[in-house]
Structure 1
Protein backbone atom coordinates (compact mmCIF):
# COMPACT_ATOMS: atom_id res chain seq x y z
CA UNK A 1 0.00 0.00 0.00
CA UNK A 2 1.31 3.42 -1.00
CA UNK A 3 0.90 6.24 1.52
CA UNK A 4 2.31 9.19 -0.45
CA UNK A 5 4.08 9.86 -3.74
CA UNK A 6 6.54 12.75 -3.97
CA UNK A 7 7.47 14.01 -7.43
CA UNK A 8 11.00 15.43 -7.27
CA UNK A 9 11.93 19.01 -8.05
CA UNK A 10 14.32 18.87 -10.99
CA UNK A 11 17.27 21.26 -11.12
CA UNK A 12 18.72 21.42 -14.64
CA UNK A 13 22.40 22.27 -14.25
CA UNK A 14 23.05 22.21 -17.99
CA UNK A 15 25.35 19.23 -18.27
CA UNK A 16 23.20 17.13 -15.96
CA UNK A 17 20.00 17.08 -13.91
CA UNK A 18 19.53 16.74 -10.16
CA UNK A 19 16.16 15.46 -8.91
CA UNK A 20 15.39 16.40 -5.29
CA UNK A 21 12.65 14.42 -3.50
CA UNK A 22 13.31 15.48 0.09
CA UNK A 23 12.71 17.78 1.79
CA UNK A 24 9.30 18.39 0.16
CA UNK A 25 6.37 20.58 1.18
CA UNK A 26 4.30 17.49 1.92
CA UNK A 27 7.02 15.53 3.72
CA UNK A 28 10.39 16.44 5.21
CA UNK A 29 11.75 13.06 6.36
CA UNK A 30 11.57 9.28 5.83
CA UNK A 31 13.22 7.74 8.87
CA UNK A 32 16.49 9.70 9.26
CA UNK A 33 16.60 10.62 5.54
CA UNK A 34 16.01 14.37 5.34
CA UNK A 35 17.52 15.04 1.91
CA UNK A 36 17.32 12.80 -1.17
CA UNK A 37 19.00 13.76 -4.44
CA UNK A 38 19.31 11.60 -7.56
CA UNK A 39 21.71 12.92 -10.20
CA UNK A 40 22.45 11.90 -13.79
CA UNK A 41 23.01 9.81 -15.75
CA UNK A 42 25.23 12.33 -17.46
CA UNK A 43 28.46 12.68 -19.36
CA UNK A 44 30.37 15.95 -19.41
CA UNK A 45 32.36 17.21 -22.37
CA UNK A 46 36.11 16.65 -22.84
CA UNK A 47 38.10 18.65 -20.31
CA UNK A 48 35.09 19.27 -18.08
CA UNK A 49 34.37 17.90 -14.62
CA UNK A 50 32.14 18.05 -11.58
CA UNK A 51 33.45 20.68 -9.18
CA UNK A 52 31.49 21.08 -5.96
CA UNK A 53 33.67 23.54 -4.05
CA UNK A 54 34.24 23.26 -0.29
CA UNK A 55 31.08 23.81 1.75
CA UNK A 56 30.02 23.11 5.36
CA UNK A 57 27.56 20.79 7.11
CA UNK A 58 26.32 20.39 10.69
CA UNK A 59 24.16 17.87 12.61
CA UNK A 60 23.83 15.38 9.74
CA UNK A 61 25.62 12.58 7.90
CA UNK A 62 25.99 12.63 4.10
CA UNK A 63 25.77 9.38 2.14
CA UNK A 64 27.11 9.20 -1.42
CA UNK A 65 26.40 6.16 -3.60
CA UNK A 66 27.26 5.86 -7.30
CA UNK A 67 25.85 3.68 -10.06
CA UNK A 68 28.40 4.97 -12.60
CA UNK A 69 31.47 7.23 -12.60
CA UNK A 70 33.86 8.33 -9.87
CA UNK A 71 34.08 11.32 -7.52
CA UNK A 72 36.98 12.52 -5.37
CA UNK A 73 35.91 13.33 -1.81
CA UNK A 74 38.03 15.60 0.41
CA UNK A 75 37.11 16.94 3.83
CA UNK A 76 38.41 19.07 6.68
CA UNK A 77 39.46 15.98 8.65
CA UNK A 78 42.08 15.37 5.96
CA UNK A 79 40.17 12.48 4.39
CA UNK A 80 40.66 11.79 0.70
CA UNK A 81 38.71 9.06 -1.08
CA UNK A 82 37.81 8.31 -4.68
CA UNK A 83 34.24 7.02 -4.63
CA UNK A 84 33.53 4.23 -7.12
CA UNK A 85 30.24 2.51 -8.05
CA UNK A 86 28.92 0.08 -5.44
CA UNK A 87 30.83 1.64 -2.52
CA UNK A 88 29.30 3.83 0.15
CA UNK A 89 30.73 7.08 1.51
CA UNK A 90 29.44 8.15 4.93
CA UNK A 91 30.58 11.54 6.20
CA UNK A 92 29.31 12.46 9.65
CA UNK A 93 29.24 16.23 10.08
CA UNK A 94 28.26 16.34 13.75
CA UNK A 95 29.38 19.66 15.23
CA UNK A 96 30.82 20.75 11.88
CA UNK A 97 32.74 19.61 8.80
CA UNK A 98 33.67 21.00 5.37
CA UNK A 99 34.09 18.93 2.21
CA UNK A 100 34.41 19.12 -1.56
CA UNK A 101 33.42 16.75 -4.36
CA UNK A 102 35.22 16.83 -7.69
CA UNK A 103 35.80 14.67 -10.73
CA UNK A 104 39.17 12.90 -10.58
CA UNK A 105 41.87 14.48 -12.73
CA UNK A 106 42.38 11.32 -14.79
CA UNK A 107 38.74 11.32 -15.96
CA UNK A 108 38.55 14.90 -17.21
CA UNK A 109 40.34 14.58 -20.57
CA UNK A 110 37.70 12.27 -22.02
CA UNK A 111 34.81 13.90 -20.17
CA UNK A 112 33.63 12.18 -16.98
CA UNK A 113 30.30 10.44 -16.58
CA UNK A 114 28.40 10.06 -13.32
CA UNK A 115 25.09 8.71 -12.08
CA UNK A 116 24.03 8.13 -8.51
CA UNK A 117 22.48 9.24 -5.25
CA UNK A 118 23.34 11.65 -2.50
CA UNK A 119 21.31 11.60 0.68
CA UNK A 120 21.55 13.23 4.09
CA UNK A 121 20.68 11.55 7.36
CA UNK A 122 19.64 13.77 10.25
CA UNK A 123 21.54 12.89 13.40
CA UNK A 124 19.26 11.85 16.27
CA UNK A 125 18.62 13.65 19.54
CA UNK A 126 21.72 13.51 21.72
CA UNK A 127 24.06 12.90 18.77
CA UNK A 128 23.68 16.05 16.70
CA UNK A 129 26.92 17.57 18.01
CA UNK A 130 29.12 14.46 17.96
CA UNK A 131 32.64 14.70 16.56
CA UNK A 132 32.84 14.69 12.76
CA UNK A 133 33.96 11.44 11.12
CA UNK A 134 34.49 9.86 7.71
CA UNK A 135 33.84 6.26 6.69
CA UNK A 136 34.17 4.47 3.34
CA UNK A 137 32.94 0.93 2.73
CA UNK A 138 33.95 -0.63 -0.59
CA UNK A 139 31.36 -2.54 -2.58
CA UNK A 140 33.08 -5.84 -1.76
CA UNK A 141 32.46 -5.12 1.93
CA UNK A 142 28.69 -4.69 1.57
CA UNK A 143 26.31 -7.68 1.74
CA UNK A 144 24.80 -8.82 -1.56
CA UNK A 145 21.54 -10.77 -1.40
CA UNK A 146 20.59 -12.62 -4.58
CA UNK A 147 17.31 -14.31 -5.40
CA UNK A 148 15.32 -15.23 -8.47
CA UNK A 149 16.00 -12.34 -10.84
CA UNK A 150 16.83 -9.99 -7.96
CA UNK A 151 20.13 -8.64 -6.63
CA UNK A 152 20.04 -6.45 -3.52
CA UNK A 153 23.09 -4.67 -2.12
CA UNK A 154 22.48 -3.70 1.50
CA UNK A 155 24.17 -0.34 2.13
CA UNK A 156 23.00 0.44 5.66
CA UNK A 157 21.16 -1.47 8.35
CA UNK A 158 19.73 -5.00 8.28
CA UNK A 159 17.58 -6.38 5.47
CA UNK A 160 16.75 -9.87 4.19
CA UNK A 161 18.74 -11.52 6.99
CA UNK A 162 22.04 -9.65 6.45
CA UNK A 163 23.55 -6.48 7.93
CA UNK A 164 25.86 -3.86 6.45
CA UNK A 165 28.91 -2.79 8.45
CA UNK A 166 28.22 0.90 7.71
CA UNK A 167 27.74 2.98 10.86
CA UNK A 168 24.12 3.88 11.66
CA UNK A 169 23.61 6.71 14.15
CA UNK A 170 19.90 5.82 14.37
CA UNK A 171 17.85 2.90 12.97
CA UNK A 172 18.42 3.08 9.20
CA UNK A 173 17.78 0.93 6.11
CA UNK A 174 19.26 1.64 2.69
CA UNK A 175 19.60 -0.75 -0.25
CA UNK A 176 20.21 -0.84 -4.01
CA UNK A 177 17.80 -3.24 -5.76
CA UNK A 178 18.40 -4.52 -9.30
CA UNK A 179 15.60 -6.61 -10.82
CA UNK A 180 15.30 -8.52 -14.07
CA UNK A 181 12.08 -8.15 -16.05
CA UNK A 182 9.27 -10.01 -14.31
CA UNK A 183 11.10 -10.39 -10.99
CA UNK A 184 9.62 -9.32 -7.63
CA UNK A 185 10.95 -8.59 -4.16
CA UNK A 186 9.09 -8.20 -0.88
CA UNK A 187 9.68 -5.03 1.15
CA UNK A 188 9.08 -6.12 4.73
CA UNK A 189 7.53 -3.75 7.27
CA UNK A 190 10.33 -3.89 9.85
CA UNK A 191 11.23 -0.18 9.71
CA UNK A 192 8.92 2.58 10.97
CA UNK A 193 9.16 4.47 7.68
CA UNK A 194 10.13 3.24 4.19
CA UNK A 195 10.28 4.63 0.67
CA UNK A 196 11.22 3.35 -2.79
CA UNK A 197 12.72 5.37 -5.64
CA UNK A 198 12.86 3.67 -9.06
CA UNK A 199 15.84 5.00 -11.03
CA UNK A 200 15.72 2.72 -14.08
CA UNK A 201 13.11 0.70 -15.98
CA UNK A 202 9.40 0.23 -15.36
CA UNK A 203 8.17 -1.14 -12.05
CA UNK A 204 5.07 -1.43 -9.89
CA UNK A 205 4.35 -1.59 -6.17
CA UNK A 206 1.53 -3.94 -5.20
CA UNK A 207 0.41 -3.83 -8.83
CA UNK A 208 0.35 -0.02 -9.06
CA UNK A 209 2.73 1.41 -11.67
CA UNK A 210 5.20 3.96 -10.33
CA UNK A 211 6.80 6.83 -12.20
CA UNK A 212 10.56 6.93 -12.67
CA UNK A 213 12.33 9.07 -10.01
CA UNK A 214 9.21 9.57 -7.85
CA UNK A 215 9.75 8.90 -4.14
CA UNK A 216 7.05 6.42 -3.13
CA UNK A 217 6.33 6.38 0.63
CA UNK A 218 5.02 3.00 1.80
CA UNK A 219 2.30 2.73 4.41
CA UNK A 220 3.65 1.81 7.87
CA UNK A 221 3.22 -1.84 8.78
CA UNK A 222 2.43 -2.91 5.21
CA UNK A 223 4.44 -5.64 3.47
CA UNK A 224 4.81 -4.26 -0.06
CA UNK A 225 5.93 -6.07 -3.21
CA UNK A 226 8.09 -4.37 -5.85
CA UNK A 227 7.74 -5.93 -9.32
CA UNK A 228 9.82 -5.13 -12.39
CA UNK A 229 7.84 -4.85 -15.63
CA UNK A 230 11.16 -4.38 -17.44
CA UNK A 231 14.74 -4.61 -16.16
CA UNK A 232 14.71 -2.10 -13.29
CA UNK A 233 16.67 -0.53 -10.47
CA UNK A 234 15.29 0.98 -7.27
CA UNK A 235 16.62 2.42 -4.03
CA UNK A 236 14.98 1.42 -0.74
CA UNK A 237 15.45 3.84 2.14
CA UNK A 238 14.01 4.56 5.57
CA UNK A 239 14.36 3.73 9.24
CA UNK A 240 13.14 4.83 12.64
CA UNK A 241 10.78 7.79 12.81
CA UNK A 242 12.15 10.90 14.52
CA UNK A 243 10.29 12.12 17.61
CA UNK A 244 11.40 15.75 17.19
CA UNK A 245 11.38 17.79 13.97
CA UNK A 246 14.46 18.96 12.11
CA UNK A 247 15.09 22.32 10.44
CA UNK A 248 17.03 22.67 7.19
CA UNK A 249 18.75 25.73 5.76
CA UNK A 250 21.14 25.19 2.84
CA UNK A 251 23.65 22.54 4.02
CA UNK A 252 22.72 22.81 7.68
CA UNK A 253 20.32 20.49 9.53
CA UNK A 254 19.44 20.81 13.21
CA UNK A 255 16.66 20.48 15.76
CA UNK A 256 17.53 24.08 16.74
CA UNK A 257 16.98 27.15 14.58
CA UNK A 258 19.47 28.98 16.77
CA UNK A 259 22.13 26.37 15.98
CA UNK A 260 21.54 26.86 12.26
CA UNK A 261 21.85 30.62 12.68
CA UNK A 262 25.15 30.13 14.49
CA UNK A 263 26.41 27.89 11.67
CA UNK A 264 25.49 30.56 9.10
CA UNK A 265 27.44 33.15 11.05
CA UNK A 266 30.41 30.81 11.50
CA UNK A 267 30.59 30.11 7.75
CA UNK A 268 30.37 33.80 6.89
CA UNK A 269 33.02 34.54 9.49
CA UNK A 270 35.47 31.88 8.28
CA UNK A 271 35.30 29.90 11.52
CA UNK A 272 34.83 26.48 9.95
CA UNK A 273 37.98 24.42 9.21
CA UNK A 274 39.44 24.28 5.70
CA UNK A 275 39.85 21.25 3.42
CA UNK A 276 43.51 20.19 3.05
CA UNK A 277 44.41 20.16 -0.63
CA UNK A 278 41.36 22.24 -1.59
CA UNK A 279 41.73 25.52 0.31
CA UNK A 280 41.59 28.01 -2.57
CA UNK A 281 37.83 28.00 -3.20
CA UNK A 282 34.59 27.78 -1.24
CA UNK A 283 30.84 28.18 -1.75
CA UNK A 284 29.51 31.39 -0.15
CA UNK A 285 26.43 31.25 2.05
CA UNK A 286 23.45 31.88 -0.25
CA UNK A 287 20.86 34.52 0.61
CA UNK A 288 18.07 32.24 -0.62
CA UNK A 289 19.14 28.58 -0.72
CA UNK A 290 17.41 25.91 -2.80
CA UNK A 291 16.93 23.78 0.31
CA UNK A 292 14.97 25.27 3.20
CA UNK A 293 12.57 23.52 5.55
CA UNK A 294 11.27 24.90 8.84
CA UNK A 295 8.65 22.47 10.19
Structure 2
Protein backbone atom coordinates (compact mmCIF):
# COMPACT_ATOMS: atom_id res chain seq x y z
CA UNK A 1 0.00 0.00 0.00
CA UNK A 2 2.74 2.46 1.01
CA UNK A 3 6.21 2.47 -0.52
CA UNK A 4 7.53 4.89 2.08
CA UNK A 5 6.45 7.48 4.63
CA UNK A 6 8.68 10.56 4.64
CA UNK A 7 8.75 12.68 7.79
CA UNK A 8 9.49 16.35 7.12
CA UNK A 9 12.83 17.60 8.48
CA UNK A 10 13.58 21.08 9.78
CA UNK A 11 15.67 23.13 7.35
CA UNK A 12 16.85 26.71 7.60
CA UNK A 13 16.86 28.95 4.55
CA UNK A 14 19.69 30.84 6.17
CA UNK A 15 17.68 34.00 6.80
CA UNK A 16 15.93 33.13 10.05
CA UNK A 17 13.09 31.33 8.28
CA UNK A 18 12.87 27.63 9.15
CA UNK A 19 10.81 25.34 6.94
CA UNK A 20 9.77 21.70 6.86
CA UNK A 21 11.74 19.98 4.10
CA UNK A 22 9.95 16.98 2.56
CA UNK A 23 11.74 16.37 -0.75
CA UNK A 24 14.39 15.45 -1.71
CA UNK A 25 14.87 12.62 0.77
CA UNK A 26 17.83 10.24 0.80
CA UNK A 27 15.59 7.20 0.24
CA UNK A 28 13.25 8.96 -2.19
CA UNK A 29 14.73 11.70 -4.33
CA UNK A 30 11.66 12.39 -6.49
CA UNK A 31 7.92 11.74 -6.76
CA UNK A 32 6.98 11.77 -10.43
CA UNK A 33 8.63 14.97 -11.72
CA UNK A 34 8.53 16.63 -8.27
CA UNK A 35 12.07 16.90 -6.93
CA UNK A 36 11.66 19.37 -4.05
CA UNK A 37 8.98 20.25 -1.53
CA UNK A 38 9.09 22.71 1.38
CA UNK A 39 6.34 23.68 3.83
CA UNK A 40 6.95 27.08 5.41
CA UNK A 41 4.91 28.21 8.41
CA UNK A 42 2.45 28.86 9.78
CA UNK A 43 4.44 31.56 11.46
CA UNK A 44 3.40 34.82 13.09
CA UNK A 45 6.03 37.35 12.16
CA UNK A 46 7.37 39.98 14.50
CA UNK A 47 7.24 43.20 12.41
CA UNK A 48 10.86 44.07 13.12
CA UNK A 49 11.99 40.68 11.74
CA UNK A 50 10.02 40.63 8.47
CA UNK A 51 12.84 42.08 6.35
CA UNK A 52 15.26 39.46 7.71
CA UNK A 53 13.09 36.72 6.18
CA UNK A 54 13.41 38.06 2.64
CA UNK A 55 14.94 35.56 0.19
CA UNK A 56 17.48 37.62 -1.77
CA UNK A 57 18.02 37.14 -5.52
CA UNK A 58 19.32 33.65 -6.30
CA UNK A 59 19.51 31.46 -9.42
CA UNK A 60 17.75 28.36 -10.76
CA UNK A 61 18.19 26.10 -13.79
CA UNK A 62 16.41 23.02 -15.14
CA UNK A 63 13.19 23.22 -13.12
CA UNK A 64 9.91 24.98 -12.50
CA UNK A 65 9.27 26.49 -9.08
CA UNK A 66 5.65 26.30 -7.94
CA UNK A 67 4.60 28.61 -5.10
CA UNK A 68 1.25 28.18 -3.34
CA UNK A 69 0.13 30.06 -0.21
CA UNK A 70 -2.31 29.18 2.54
CA UNK A 71 -1.87 32.55 4.27
CA UNK A 72 0.03 35.83 3.88
CA UNK A 73 1.54 37.12 0.65
CA UNK A 74 4.94 37.21 -1.04
CA UNK A 75 6.39 39.56 -3.68
CA UNK A 76 8.25 37.79 -6.49
CA UNK A 77 10.77 39.62 -8.71
CA UNK A 78 12.85 37.93 -11.40
CA UNK A 79 15.42 38.58 -14.10
CA UNK A 80 12.68 38.70 -16.78
CA UNK A 81 11.53 41.94 -15.14
CA UNK A 82 8.44 40.34 -13.63
CA UNK A 83 7.14 41.67 -10.33
CA UNK A 84 4.22 39.66 -8.98
CA UNK A 85 2.53 39.49 -5.59
CA UNK A 86 1.21 36.03 -4.82
CA UNK A 87 -1.75 35.62 -2.48
CA UNK A 88 -3.55 32.57 -1.05
CA UNK A 89 -5.24 30.44 -3.70
CA UNK A 90 -3.01 31.66 -6.55
CA UNK A 91 -0.19 29.79 -8.26
CA UNK A 92 3.17 31.26 -9.24
CA UNK A 93 4.79 28.97 -11.82
CA UNK A 94 8.31 29.99 -12.82
CA UNK A 95 10.19 27.83 -15.31
CA UNK A 96 13.92 28.45 -14.96
CA UNK A 97 15.03 26.50 -18.02
CA UNK A 98 18.48 27.75 -19.06
CA UNK A 99 18.70 30.08 -16.08
CA UNK A 100 16.80 32.70 -14.10
CA UNK A 101 17.29 34.62 -10.87
CA UNK A 102 14.51 35.72 -8.56
CA UNK A 103 13.82 37.07 -5.11
CA UNK A 104 10.95 36.55 -2.68
CA UNK A 105 10.24 39.40 -0.31
CA UNK A 106 7.69 39.81 2.43
CA UNK A 107 6.26 43.28 1.86
CA UNK A 108 2.62 42.63 2.78
CA UNK A 109 1.37 45.45 5.07
CA UNK A 110 -0.46 42.84 7.16
CA UNK A 111 2.79 40.93 7.70
CA UNK A 112 4.56 44.15 8.56
CA UNK A 113 1.93 44.49 11.29
CA UNK A 114 2.57 40.98 12.62
CA UNK A 115 0.53 38.84 10.23
CA UNK A 116 0.80 35.13 9.45
CA UNK A 117 2.61 33.35 6.62
CA UNK A 118 2.16 29.76 5.44
CA UNK A 119 3.20 28.43 2.05
CA UNK A 120 4.12 25.32 0.10
CA UNK A 121 6.79 25.42 -2.55
CA UNK A 122 7.61 22.57 -4.91
CA UNK A 123 10.09 22.20 -7.72
CA UNK A 124 9.15 20.27 -10.85
CA UNK A 125 12.05 18.89 -12.85
CA UNK A 126 11.93 19.47 -16.60
CA UNK A 127 12.15 16.86 -19.36
CA UNK A 128 15.57 16.78 -21.01
CA UNK A 129 14.23 18.35 -24.21
CA UNK A 130 13.27 21.58 -22.39
CA UNK A 131 15.84 21.71 -19.56
CA UNK A 132 17.61 24.58 -21.33
CA UNK A 133 14.54 26.33 -22.72
CA UNK A 134 14.02 30.07 -22.32
CA UNK A 135 12.82 30.98 -18.80
CA UNK A 136 9.18 31.94 -18.29
CA UNK A 137 6.91 33.11 -15.49
CA UNK A 138 3.13 32.82 -15.06
CA UNK A 139 0.72 33.74 -12.29
CA UNK A 140 -2.64 31.95 -12.18
CA UNK A 141 -5.59 33.44 -10.30
CA UNK A 142 -8.03 31.36 -8.20
CA UNK A 143 -10.80 31.56 -10.82
CA UNK A 144 -8.44 29.80 -13.28
CA UNK A 145 -8.01 26.81 -10.95
CA UNK A 146 -11.08 24.52 -10.92
CA UNK A 147 -12.62 23.46 -7.60
CA UNK A 148 -14.42 20.23 -6.77
CA UNK A 149 -16.71 19.85 -3.75
CA UNK A 150 -18.61 16.92 -2.25
CA UNK A 151 -19.87 16.05 1.21
CA UNK A 152 -16.99 16.92 3.55
CA UNK A 153 -14.60 17.46 0.63
CA UNK A 154 -13.12 20.58 -0.98
CA UNK A 155 -10.41 20.36 -3.63
CA UNK A 156 -8.57 22.83 -5.87
CA UNK A 157 -6.61 21.62 -8.90
CA UNK A 158 -3.30 23.47 -8.83
CA UNK A 159 -1.82 21.91 -11.96
CA UNK A 160 -2.09 18.95 -14.29
CA UNK A 161 -5.06 16.59 -14.64
CA UNK A 162 -6.92 14.90 -11.78
CA UNK A 163 -10.41 13.55 -11.13
CA UNK A 164 -11.58 14.65 -14.57
CA UNK A 165 -10.46 18.25 -13.99
CA UNK A 166 -7.81 20.20 -15.85
CA UNK A 167 -6.70 23.81 -16.13
CA UNK A 168 -4.44 26.02 -18.23
CA UNK A 169 -1.42 25.94 -15.93
CA UNK A 170 1.45 25.23 -18.31
CA UNK A 171 3.31 22.03 -17.41
CA UNK A 172 5.96 20.09 -19.33
CA UNK A 173 5.22 16.48 -18.40
CA UNK A 174 2.22 14.44 -17.11
CA UNK A 175 1.55 15.32 -13.46
CA UNK A 176 -1.10 16.24 -10.93
CA UNK A 177 -1.01 18.64 -7.98
CA UNK A 178 -4.06 19.39 -5.81
CA UNK A 179 -4.98 21.13 -2.55
CA UNK A 180 -7.56 19.11 -0.62
CA UNK A 181 -9.46 19.94 2.58
CA UNK A 182 -11.38 17.12 4.28
CA UNK A 183 -13.84 17.37 7.14
CA UNK A 184 -13.83 14.72 9.91
CA UNK A 185 -14.93 11.34 8.57
CA UNK A 186 -14.65 12.34 4.90
CA UNK A 187 -13.14 9.80 2.52
CA UNK A 188 -11.03 10.61 -0.53
CA UNK A 189 -8.86 8.78 -3.04
CA UNK A 190 -5.98 9.59 -5.36
CA UNK A 191 -6.05 10.38 -9.08
CA UNK A 192 -5.64 7.31 -11.27
CA UNK A 193 -3.47 6.87 -14.33
CA UNK A 194 -0.16 7.96 -12.79
CA UNK A 195 2.65 5.56 -11.78
CA UNK A 196 3.89 7.69 -8.87
CA UNK A 197 1.49 9.28 -6.39
CA UNK A 198 1.70 10.76 -2.92
CA UNK A 199 -0.24 12.69 -0.29
CA UNK A 200 1.39 15.25 1.99
CA UNK A 201 -0.47 15.89 5.23
CA UNK A 202 -0.14 19.64 5.78
CA UNK A 203 -2.63 19.83 8.67
CA UNK A 204 -4.64 17.34 10.71
CA UNK A 205 -4.44 13.58 10.29
CA UNK A 206 -5.74 10.82 8.03
CA UNK A 207 -6.15 7.07 8.20
CA UNK A 208 -4.92 4.80 5.43
CA UNK A 209 -5.39 1.02 5.61
CA UNK A 210 -5.96 1.17 9.37
CA UNK A 211 -2.90 3.33 10.13
CA UNK A 212 -3.00 6.98 11.14
CA UNK A 213 -0.68 9.63 9.69
CA UNK A 214 -0.29 13.23 10.80
CA UNK A 215 0.92 16.67 9.79
CA UNK A 216 4.36 16.79 8.24
CA UNK A 217 4.25 13.32 6.67
CA UNK A 218 4.39 12.51 2.94
CA UNK A 219 2.74 9.20 2.08
CA UNK A 220 4.14 7.64 -1.10
CA UNK A 221 1.88 4.90 -2.45
CA UNK A 222 2.69 1.66 -4.23
CA UNK A 223 1.98 1.84 -7.98
CA UNK A 224 -1.30 0.20 -8.99
CA UNK A 225 -2.86 0.55 -5.53
CA UNK A 226 -5.85 2.88 -5.12
CA UNK A 227 -5.96 3.84 -1.43
CA UNK A 228 -8.77 5.55 0.46
CA UNK A 229 -7.77 8.38 2.81
CA UNK A 230 -10.12 8.89 5.76
CA UNK A 231 -9.97 12.16 7.70
CA UNK A 232 -9.69 11.71 11.47
CA UNK A 233 -10.18 15.44 11.93
CA UNK A 234 -10.35 18.47 9.68
CA UNK A 235 -7.23 18.10 7.56
CA UNK A 236 -5.40 19.67 4.63
CA UNK A 237 -3.64 17.50 2.06
CA UNK A 238 -1.47 18.21 -0.96
CA UNK A 239 -1.79 15.39 -3.49
CA UNK A 240 1.00 15.20 -6.06
CA UNK A 241 2.78 12.91 -8.49
CA UNK A 242 3.03 11.96 -12.14
CA UNK A 243 5.29 10.31 -14.66
CA UNK A 244 8.94 9.90 -13.58
CA UNK A 245 11.54 11.68 -15.71
CA UNK A 246 14.63 9.62 -14.90
CA UNK A 247 17.66 10.50 -12.80
CA UNK A 248 18.21 14.13 -11.91
CA UNK A 249 21.11 15.77 -10.12
CA UNK A 250 20.37 18.55 -7.65
CA UNK A 251 22.83 20.97 -6.06
CA UNK A 252 21.67 24.10 -4.23
CA UNK A 253 19.05 25.59 -6.60
CA UNK A 254 20.21 23.78 -9.72
CA UNK A 255 18.59 20.69 -11.24
CA UNK A 256 19.77 18.84 -14.34
CA UNK A 257 20.00 15.43 -15.99
CA UNK A 258 23.71 16.17 -16.55
CA UNK A 259 26.37 16.68 -13.88
CA UNK A 260 28.38 18.98 -16.13
CA UNK A 261 25.37 21.30 -16.51
CA UNK A 262 25.32 21.78 -12.73
CA UNK A 263 28.99 22.75 -12.81
CA UNK A 264 28.32 25.20 -15.63
CA UNK A 265 25.50 26.81 -13.63
CA UNK A 266 27.84 27.30 -10.67
CA UNK A 267 30.36 29.05 -12.89
CA UNK A 268 27.66 31.14 -14.56
CA UNK A 269 26.35 32.44 -11.23
CA UNK A 270 29.83 33.24 -9.94
CA UNK A 271 30.70 35.07 -13.16
CA UNK A 272 27.46 37.07 -13.23
CA UNK A 273 26.20 35.44 -16.42
CA UNK A 274 22.75 34.85 -14.87
CA UNK A 275 21.13 38.27 -14.73
CA UNK A 276 19.69 39.67 -11.52
CA UNK A 277 16.13 41.01 -11.35
CA UNK A 278 16.31 44.54 -12.81
CA UNK A 279 14.08 45.85 -10.02
CA UNK A 280 15.92 43.99 -7.23
CA UNK A 281 19.62 43.93 -8.08
CA UNK A 282 21.38 45.66 -5.18
CA UNK A 283 22.15 42.39 -3.38
CA UNK A 284 22.18 38.67 -4.05
CA UNK A 285 23.07 35.32 -2.51
CA UNK A 286 26.59 34.16 -3.45
CA UNK A 287 27.31 30.59 -4.51
CA UNK A 288 27.70 28.39 -1.40
CA UNK A 289 30.95 26.58 -0.74
CA UNK A 290 30.58 23.00 -1.93
CA UNK A 291 33.91 21.59 -0.67
CA UNK A 292 34.40 19.96 -4.08
CA UNK A 293 31.52 17.54 -3.62
CA UNK A 294 30.16 16.07 -6.88
CA UNK A 295 26.87 17.34 -8.19
CA UNK A 296 25.03 14.20 -7.09
CA UNK A 297 25.99 14.65 -3.44
CA UNK A 298 23.61 16.07 -0.83
CA UNK A 299 23.30 19.75 -1.76
CA UNK A 300 23.64 22.75 0.53
CA UNK A 301 20.35 24.18 1.77
CA UNK A 302 18.14 25.08 -1.17
CA UNK A 303 16.27 28.33 -1.48
CA UNK A 304 12.84 28.84 -2.91
What does residue range 197-212 of structure 1 map to in structure 2 within 5 Å? 197-212=200-215
Distance 2:69 2:261 in 1: 31
Match of 2:233 among 219, 227, 230: 230
Match of 1:285 among 284, 287, 292: 287
Deviations 1:67-111 (A, max 9, x none): 011000010001111100011110000000000000125235312
Partner of 1:123: 126
Partner of 1:107: 110
- CA-atom RMSD in angstroms: 1.7
Match of 2:257 among 255, 258, 265: 255
Distance 2:228 2:261 in 1: 41
Distance 1:207 1:26 in 2: 24
> How much does 1:294 deviate?
4.5
What does residue range 15-34 of structure 1 map to in structure 2 within 5 Å? 16-34=17-35
Distance 2:68 2:207 in 1: 23
SS at match of 1:266: helix
SS at match of 1:224: coil
Partner of 1:10: 10
Match of 1:144 among 142, 147, 154: 147
Distance 2:112 2:36 in 1: 32
TM-score by length of 1: 0.95
Distance 2:214 2:161 in 1: 27
Distance 1:249 1:18 in 2: 18
8 Å CA contact retained: 1:181, 1:228:
yes
| Structure 1 runs not aligned, ≥5 long | none
Distance 1:113 1:100 in 2: 20
Partner of 2:302: none
> How much does 1:174 deviate?
0.1
Mean Cα displacement is larger for which, 154-163 or 3-12?
Answer: 3-12
> How much does 1:293 deviate?
4.3
8 Å CA contact retained: 1:28, 1:293:
no
SS at match of 2:71: strand
8 Å CA contact retained: 2:145, 2:158:
yes
Partner of 2:63: 60
What does residue range 142-221 of structure 1 map to in structure 2 within 5 Å? 142-221=145-224
TM-score by length of 2: 0.92
8 Å CA contact retained: 1:189, 1:222:
no
